[in-house]
Amino acid sequence: MYYGVKIRMYGINGNEDNLRYYNAMVKDNVNLTLLIVIRSFLFSALLLILKMTLFFNQGSDSVTHWTILVWCYTVISLAWNMIGYQCAERSAQPDKHRITKFGQGIMLLWYSGTIGARILLIAIAASQWPLYTFLGCMLNWILWTAWIYNQKDGAHNFCRELTRSELTEPAHLDLWTFLFSAVLAEVYTFTLVNFKEGSTFLRYCFYYVLMTLQNGTVLILDIYFGSSTDEFSVTYLYIFRILSILLFITGIVAMLIYYMFVHAKVKCYAVTCCPV
């Protein structure tokens, strides 16, 4: 609000500081949308895993058709929050194009598929081996926390003071940066958040190869070592195993389509890319 008022004031007066305040506003908007992403995953994603775990353990009496629709809406909402962050990040970079509506639709398939598959598989594993699933998630969280904290020009510069003209890194352990890295690492359990400028190709390749290996390991362990005496649970486990595979494949294919044909930096004929 502060920067918005300043933009209006300097715009009316014709002051050249208008652009400086606009850049500050869009950068703060990126930080705000990132906080929205973190909040949604800290609450909605973990709650959805808990509800689905109870569903696999208790059977059909624990849910209704309306509940399943709410679950689907939750996954789509998580994906849409990620799209909002990506769009805000693009708007803060004047040298890059905006993400088109068609591109946002492809991204919705990408994030819905990969996030939905991840939540399903964690819930399936938690219904079979709750303790080992918890330990595995904790190990995953610790490793991502260390990785995020040690990223150059990454978490150290989140919400940095606008008076600092250059990106800096502390020479010693920064408690607040470490805590932010730990919170952001929870989101990395489900999806990759690009919180620093630069090429994302290698980061996405590394992350989704790792996610594929983890998801495949959970599926293999569940198929060969999972146990359930309830016929209903066995039937639904098979259905959701297949669903998780289809969702993940859909998400990966959508991601490849996005970066090959619809990416905002690609000059394509099917989509009109409008510069900021």
> What length is written for the chain?
276
Please say if the pLDDT value at position 171 is more than 80: no
Higher pLDDT, 94 or 82: 82
The residues that bridge with 97 in the sheet, in sequence order, are: 275
pLDDT classification of 79: cutoffs 50, 70, 90: very high
Q: Determine the average pLDDT of the residues in 10-26.
A: 70
Q: Determine the average pLDDT of the residues in 139-159.
A: 80
Q: Are 36 and 85 in contact (CB under 8 A)?
A: yes
Question: How many C-beta atoms surround the C-beta of residue 79 within 10 A?
Answer: 22
pLDDT in tens, 233-274: 667 778 888 999 999 999 999 999 998 888 766 444 333 333
pLDDT in tens, 190-244: 999 987 666 677 888 899 999 999 999 999 998 888 765 555 566 777 888 899 9
Closest C-alpha to 104, from 121, 88, 83 = 83
Render 70-125 in DSSP notation, one character per residue.
Answer: HHHHHHHHHHHHHHHHHHHHHHT-TTSBPPPHHHHHHHHHHHHHHHHHHHHHHHHH
Instruction: Look at residue 142 in the predicted model and tell me its pLDDT.
Output: 95
Instruction: Look at residue 156 in the predicted model and tell me its pLDDT.
Output: 63
- Rounded to 5 degrees, φ, ψ at 265 are -90, -10
pLDDT in tens, 45-59: 999 999 988 888 876
pLDDT in tens, 93-125: 777 788 889 999 999 999 999 999 999 999 999
Please say if the pLDDT value at position 37 is more than 90: yes
Instruction: Look at residue 208 in the predicted model and tell me its pLDDT.
Output: 95
Please say if the pLDDT value at position 276 is more than 50: no
Instruction: Look at residue 228 in the predicted model and tell me its pLDDT.
Output: 59
Residue ranges of the domains in the chain?
A: 2-262
Q: Which residues contact 12 (CB under 8 A, 6 or more apart)?
A: none
